[in-house]
Structure 1
Amino acid sequence: MTPITPLFLAIVVFFTTAAEGLTPDGQSLLAFKASIEDPATHLRDWNESDATPCRWTGITCDSQNRVSSLTLSNMSLSGSIAPGTLSRLSALANLSLDVNDLGGALPAELLGALPLLRYLNISHCNFSGDFPANLSSASPSLAILDAYNNNFTGALPIGLSALPLLAHVHLGGSLFSGSIPREYGSIKSLRYLALSGNDLSGEIPAEMGDLESLEQLYLGYYNHFSGGIPRSFGRLKSLRRLDLASAGINGSIPIELGGLRRLDTLFLQLNSLAGSIPDAIGGLRALQSLDLSCNQLTGGIPASLEKLQELKLLNLFRNNLSGEIPSFVGDMPNLEVLFLWGNGFVGAIPEFLGGNGQLWMLDLSKNALNGSVPSSLCRGGKLATLILQQNRLSGSIPEGLGSCASLEKVRLGDNLLSGAIPRGLFALPNLDMVELMRNKLDGVMGDEEFAAPKLEKIDLSENLLRGEISEGIGALSMLKELQISYNRLAGAVPAGLGRMQWLLQLNLTHNFFSGGIPPEIGSCRSLTMLDLSVNQLSGEIPRSLEALEVLGVLNLSRNAFSGGIPRGIALLQSLNSVDFSYNRLSGAIPATDQAFNRSSYVGNLGLCGAPLGPCPKNPNSRGYGGHGRGRSDPELLAWLVGALFSAALLVLVVGVCCFFRKYRRYLCRLGFLRPRSRGAGAWKLTAFQKLGGFSVAHILECLSNEDNIIGRGGSGIVYKGVMPSGEIVAVKKLSGFNPAAAAGVARGKIGGSMSHSDHGFSAEVQTLGKIRHRNIVKLLGFCSNKETNVLVYEYMPNGSLGEALHGSSKGAVMLDWATRYKIALQAANGLCYLHHDCSPLIVHRDVKSNNILLDAEFQARVADFGLAKLFQDSGKSESMSSIAGSYGYIAPEYAYTLKVNEKSDIYSFGVVLLELVSGRRPIEPEFGDGVDIVQWVRKKIQTKDGVLEVLDSRIREENLPLQEIMLVLRVALLCTSDLPVDRPTMRDVVQMLGDARPGKNKEESSTDFGDLSSSQSQLLSPV
């Protein structure tokens, strides 16, 4: 409990003296205001000159002018509530302090000295420490207690069971540990109980089945209970919602749950439940949402589920279910979401599925289904997601899909479908992905209309498509990947492709295209892969390809190209794979720093030069085909002029700097320059967590000794500080900032206008000050004056993951595989919290191994939020003014388009996973120039020996669980997919890593990577 300081007592005495005419309630409220901070001045009308506080903001009084309600929700209040300040509000019935930055210990009187309190809401605050345990003096009228999303630790308060009218308890989203008190089963009045998102363990008490009034129960998410679902839950006859998702439970689903006739939501996903789906589930006549996904369930879909006529969502994916999908599933009148992928279902898809006009999302992929695709799927015009890939479906694709304007994703690859692509499919207004690869489609492409404004990916490879591709394909302005390889297409490569500014991959190999390469392709500046091999193309290779500065793969082999290889293509530093073989090229192979081997050039009788051997001597030539090694005279002259100009400019800049340094004082006197500020001003300490009795002076003392430096980075220097209590903290000193903006941040003003030179200080403080999660580093507080900003963190004795993996031979920590896996999963949990549990969601923008810190037990914490960005909508991209992040971790689309969303973090995390598996940095000399760890691993996994070479040699001597490591490697490759749409979400990553945990029986694993796009499947297949 925070001690009452002499200064605070003086403030209370002052307000009491100044407000002698004010009621005791008003005096108490003024004392409360004095103990906290109100940076937005919401409480400016709390005036000691008033007779009563009844007209003040947030105050409601009863007929006796006593304060009955104090509602200060979402007012940006900060600081810690001093004990005793609200204890005199004896008539208070409603207290709402939610969505503020109030922190420190929760004053005991809020639950012990307010005799009439009925409603207490402290959710979305920063309260920490143990929750008040002695509730014997709490208000017997207390009905609602909402403490969601705080930082409480220790055990759950047993004393809640003594409150006779308690109806609503939300203690989720904190760090409570231990087991659920059995006494909670005696709170007969309880209607709502949420304990999710903590660190609870042990068995779920059977006594909770005695909560006869309970309507909603939430126990999952980050908790890890042992044992199964208590059979006593079958007695919860009033229950409407039961959420035990990701709670660590095992065993079977109790048949007793079938007696919960009022239940509308049953969430049991992400557990280890086994056995069959009990027939008793059919007794849940009011059920609207049933999610049993990601378990180990076996058997079929019971016939009793036909009785669930109210069902809107049915998720059974990632289990071991089998048999046919019952026809009644297609007749459910309200079904909106059906996810059954990753099982062993056989037979046909229900004929009338979608006929109810409500179907929104359908995923039946990775089963063994046959028959045709039902024509009724989009009857109601609501279907957005259609995923049926990796089955044995045959027949044609329903024509009606071409007019289904709601469609966003169509993934029908790896089936036996034939016929034409539905007319109008590529013009749908909301479509962003079409995957029809590896089927038997044999339609004509020439008549296709290309007008979909959001389409990012088309994969039609390995079909029998005929005809030409129209120039209109260039209208797909957002397209990032176009795969039409292994078909029978002919005619010219459309010049309209040059209008696709964001195109990353273009693959037209193994077709019958003729004519030349349209020069317009050089306008596709984002291209990383261009494969036109095995066609009938001819003419010279256009020099416009030299403008593709980020091109990594170029394959023009097995065509009829003539002339020379443009020298500028050879100079592209991004290239890591080229193939010009089997054409009619001639002349000297341009000199390059890349070590391309002979196979890249064979089959061209006119080519010469390394690695094909020396060219014939010809003193009259500077090269072959007009693109030789020598520089032309105009080029040389331009180079010399540029060099001279650069040298002159450098001399000018140095001279100006010297002049201003020497005569700065004189120029200031004349008024041409502003004198430098001499006064830094007083220091101020703002705490976000409970501090261990140290002050600004103690923090600044550790900055005076350079021996305390433990790290340096682009945003500042990090010191180790030992406080008087013995507590060790990390102190980060940032340089160069805007004083006025820093003052705004110090007052807690969100969105303060920090200058660019603040090195992310505003973003880091505003972000970290609100975040509380076991896998995110704690920001204890910050100090500031007019010139300097200092952040105070919890100290991580084992430094960063980057140091542990890549430090010197003496300093590097030996991390065994089990520790590396644990770090990966914990860091993923931290990022998952940022992406899915924060509102608004937070994109870190600088995920890297050096920003994952390790405590004394090698528990991982995500750190350094200086570049963090807040997003209101998941999946939406935001344009940045410049690239921010660390080289080797930056997602391709971010580098090319300056657009960022949460998928950018996922790419960076995939790089971290590759570091953990390989022990290598993102950029290593052994990879070659312009090659990063992602490209290097992709190349290595093409062979079995190469896969083993990827593994860190320091862990090869262990008794390695290779299957687990390969699963983590697969997750890493998924995360680093070139297209954002191909990357999983962080929730998916956490689930997949959880299934790869060391020692888990892989026959029981729910991770089967069944929902992969074609490019992902091809990428992972060699592993």
Structure 2
Amino acid sequence: MDDSSNTNATTAMPQKNHSYDDHIDHHFHSNISQRHQHSTTTILPLNSIIIIIISIISLVLILSIFLIIVMLRRLKSVKKHGSCKENSGIHNTSSRFIAPTTIDLNASPADVKGNCLYGGSMRKPASAYRGVQVFTYKELEFATDNFSEANVIGNGGSSVVYKGVLADGTVAAIKRLHRDRKQGERAFRMEVDLLSRLNSPYLVELLGYCADQHHRLLIFEFMPNGTLQQHLHHPSSEYRPLDWGSRLRIALDCARALEFLHEHATPTVIHRDFKCTNVLLDPHLRAKVSDFGLAKMGSDKTNGQISTRVPRTAGYLAPEYASTGKLTTKSDVYSYGVVLLQLLTGRVPLDIKRPPGEHVLVSWALPRLTNRDKVDDMVDPAIQGQYSKKDLIQVAAIAAMCVQPEADYRPLMVDVVQSLIPLAKNFNSVNSPGFLRFHRQSSGLKY
């Protein structure tokens, strides 16, 4: 029994150990499997994050390269077409200032046809402001019937002015400068520069220009009543004599034009050649100042004066300007005074056909302007009886101040304007038929 019992016990022991070992082995493998699964679940998200980061970096690099390529192409395009960029400007319907353009007279005809000259983009602007346009020589030939003599409306030493009809039907005055004249070239540059920046109802409007090869032409608004010179000194069926009311308004318009140039233009502009032939009249006999070829800008001034070559316009030059060449705004005031004397007397500034002592208008008129008894005798016979003695004396006093030999004694143009406004407003419209016609068809000018 003992042996049997031992045998059974011995036989039973290995079975018990085998079951324990199986449990341990199962637990061990289960732990390994769990650690493997945990390791796998830990590694997979890390790989995904790395892949996402690499993808984002690659995308950013591709976008950066693309943007760099686009910017380089645009920069190349700007350099290529930089001469056609439009300068920014300020536009005002009453007194427009347009940023100055850079003049390039060596541009090819292709630049003209492409509306890319003087460094400005000549895109067609809004209808409220047409802007300065570029014309080809062929277009202006067509507009003037091949510059026909029948269309000549003015002839000066450096240019010929033609009446023309542009392609859009606009009637214009086309000024053709003579070739091979350095002064004409300078005048062309100055007029384009100034009138493309400055605009006032009292300045003639520049519609466009042509710099096609060696041709230099300026296109202005057409003024159907010609020049003040024609009305005062060459009256005809086309250019009738001016009545007193019209002369007052013309004097005020001219004063406003010079006031604008001296006080409101930036920089200050000195006309330097103000005279009757440069005063144009519109359909309502309202005046606009033209011809800025000899103008000077205030940026050239030193202590308020500009050293410059004196133009050859006898009778209009201020004494200090004629003798020293020193130019100030008071030089324009003197020239204005001479024009005012012409409006008052109907005489030309220099007339050697008159008796001794009357050759020079200013010298003859100055001692009479402040004499109440003699001022009546100075008045142009064409307007006698149309004015009041009080108004005549005031106009004479203004003229006397403007033509003072000493520049410091001359008034500013703003003071001249303020003095003339009440005279023009209070004038009896019955004595000036053109006054009522003007108000029925107002051109927008003010007193």
User: Given the two structures, how large is their TM-score scaled by the length of structure 2?
Assistant: 0.67
User: 1:719 is paired with a residue of what secondary structure?
Assistant: strand
CA–CA separation in structure 2 for the residues paired with 1:24 and 1:801: 62
Q: Which blocks of at least 5 consecutive residues in structure 1 are unaligned?
A: 1-19, 42-76, 79-99, 103-124, 126-148, 154-172, 176-679, 739-754, 1002-1023
Query: In the alignment, is residue 718 of structure 1 matched against residue 145 of structure 2?
Result: no
Q: Is the 8 A contact 1:683 1:784 kept in 2?
A: no
SS at match of 1:835: helix
Normalized per residue, the structure richer in helix is 2
- More contact order relative to length (CA 8 Å, sep ≥ 6): 2
Distance 1:946 1:874, change over 3 A: farther
Q: 3-state SS of the aligned residue for 1:782?
A: strand
The counterpart of 1:690, out of the listed 120, 130, 136, is 130
Q: Aligned residue for 1:932?
A: 360
How far apart are the structure 1 equivalents of 2:78 and 2:232? Answer: 49
Q: Which residue of 2 aligns with 1:805?
A: 232
Query: Are 2:256 and 1:829 equivalent residues in the alignment?
Result: yes
> Which one-letter code corresponds to 2:169 in the other structure?
G
1: CA distance between counterparts of 2:286 and 2:75?
43
Q: 1:699 aligns with which of 128, 140, 146?
A: 140
For 1:24 and 1:778, the matched residues in 2 are separated by 46
- What's the offset of the Cα at 1:24? 12
Letter in 1 for 2:376: L
Q: Which whole-Å deviations, capped at 9, do the CAs of 1:246-284 have from their partners, x for residues lacking one? A: xxxxxxxxxxxxxxxxxxxxxxxxxxxxxxxxxxxxxxx
Correspondence for 1:838 among 258, 265, 275: 265
Q: Given that residues 735 and 758 in structure 1 are in contact (C-alpha distance below 8 angstroms), is that contact kept between their aligned partners in structure 2?
A: no
Matched, 1:150 2:91: yes
Q: Shift in Å at residue 878 of structure 1?
A: 1.6
CA contact (8 A) 2:225 2:239 kept: no
| 1:17 alignment partner in structure 2 | none
Partner SS, residue 700 of structure 1? helix
Distance 1:886 1:692, change over 3 A: closer
Q: Deviations over 1:429-464 (max 9, x none)?
A: xxxxxxxxxxxxxxxxxxxxxxxxxxxxxxxxxxxx
Counterpart of 1:794 in structure 2: which amino acid? E
Q: 1:661-691: per-residue Cα shift (whole Å, max 9, x none)?
A: xxxxxxxxxxxxxxxxxxx966836569626
CA deviation string 1:330-389 (max 9, x = no partner): xxxxxxxxxxxxxxxxxxxxxxxxxxxxxxxxxxxxxxxxxxxxxxxxxxxxxxxxxxxx
**In 2, are the aligned partners of 1:730 and 1:795 still within 8 Å (CA)?**
yes
Residues 18-59 of structure 1 show CA distances to partners (whole Å, capped at 9, x for unaligned) of xx955899699889969x9854x9xxxxxxxxxxxxxxxxxx
Mapped partners of 2:341, 2:279: distance in 1: 14
Show CA shifts across 1:89-131 (max 9, x none): xxxxxxxxxxx4x5xxxxxxxxxxxxxxxxxxxxxx2xxxxxx
Contact in 2 for aligned 1:720/1:730 (Cα 8 Å): yes
Matches within 5 A, 1:445-484: none
CA drift of 1:920 comes to 1.6
Counterpart for residue 949 of structure 1: 377
Q: Distance in 2 between matches of 1:997 and 1:827?
A: 13
Aligned 8 A contact 2:135 2:208 in 1: no
Q: Secondary structure at the match of 2:248?
A: helix
What is aligned with 1:344? none
For 2:76 and 2:204, how far apart are their aligned partners in 1?
33
Q: Does the C-alpha gap of structure 1 residues 856 and 811 become closer, same or farther in structure 2, counting only changes over 3 Å? A: closer
Partner of 1:988: 415
Distance 1:37 1:803 in 2: 47
Does the C-alpha gap of structure 1 residues 927 and 802 become closer, same or farther in structure 2, counting only changes over 3 Å? farther
* C-alpha separation in 2, matches of 1:783 and 1:823: 31
Given that residues 874 and 902 in structure 1 are in contact (C-alpha distance below 8 angstroms), is that contact kept between their aligned partners in structure 2? no
Q: Report the CA distance shift for 1:954/1:1000 in structure 2 as closer, same or farther (over 3 A).
A: closer
Over 3 Å counting, the alpha-carbon distance change for 1:38 and 1:868 in structure 2 is: farther
Which residue does the alignment assign to 1:763?
190
**CA distance in 2: counterparts of 1:694 and 1:782, whole angstroms:** 5
Q: For residues 784 and 967 of structure 1, do their structure 2 counterparts lie closer, same or farther at Cα, with a shift above 3 Å needed?
A: same
Per the alignment, residue 336 of structure 2 pairs with 909
Deviation at 1:826, TM superposition (A): 1.2
Q: CA deviation at 1:786?
A: 3.0
Compute the TM-score of the two structures, normalised by the length of structure 1: 0.31
Q: Is the 8 A contact 1:763 1:868 kept in 2?
A: yes
Match of 2:287 among 857, 860, 863: 860
| C-alpha contact 1:720 1:795 (8 A) present in aligned 2 | yes
The number of aligned residues is: 337
Counterpart amino acid of 2:378?
Answer: V
Which whole-Å CA distance do the structure 2 matches of 1:934 and 1:940 have between them?
Answer: 10
Deviation track 1:288-330 (CA, whole Å, cap 9, x = no partner) reads xxxxxxxxxxxxxxxxxxxxxxxxxxxxxxxxxxxxxxxxxxx
Residue matched to 2:223: 796
Query: Take 2:197 and 2:133, find their aligned partners in 1: how far apart are those partners?
Result: 22
Task: Specify the SS of the correspondent of 1:997.
Answer: helix
CA contact (8 A) 2:133 2:207 kept: no
Instruction: Name the counterpart of 2:152.
Output: 709
Aligned partners of 2:295 and 2:73: how far apart in 1? 39
Which structure 2 residues correspond to residues 939-978 of structure 1 after superposition, within 5 A? Answer: 939-941=367-369, 944-958=372-386, 960-978=387-405
Aligned ranges 1:435-514 → 2 under 5 Å: none
Kindly indicate whether the alpha-carbon contact (under 8 Å) linking 2:231 and 2:240 is maintained by their aligned counterparts in 1.
yes
Specify the alignment match of 1:997 in structure 2: 424
Does 1:733 pair with 2:176?
A: yes
1:176-187 equivalences in 2 (<5 Å): none
* Paired residues of 1:888 and 1:923 also in contact (CA < 8 A): yes
> Hey, which of these two has a bigger chunk of strand by percent?
1
Q: Report if aligned partners of 2:369, 2:397 keep a CA contact under 8 Å in 1.
A: no
Are the structure 2 counterparts of residues 694 and 884 from structure 1 closer, same or farther at C-alpha, using a change threshold of 3 Å? closer
Displacement of 1:961 in angstroms is 2.4
CA shift in 2, pair 1:849/1:692, >3 Å? closer
Q: Deviations over 1:490-535 (max 9, x none)?
A: xxxxxxxxxxxxxxxxxxxxxxxxxxxxxxxxxxxxxxxxxxxxxx
Aligned to 1:850: 277
Rg larger for: 2
Cα distance in 1 for residues equivalent to 2:379 and 2:398:
15
Q: Is the 8 A contact 1:828 1:990 kept in 2?
A: yes
In structure 2, distance between residues paired with 1:820 and 1:980: 25
% of aligned pairs identical? Answer: 33
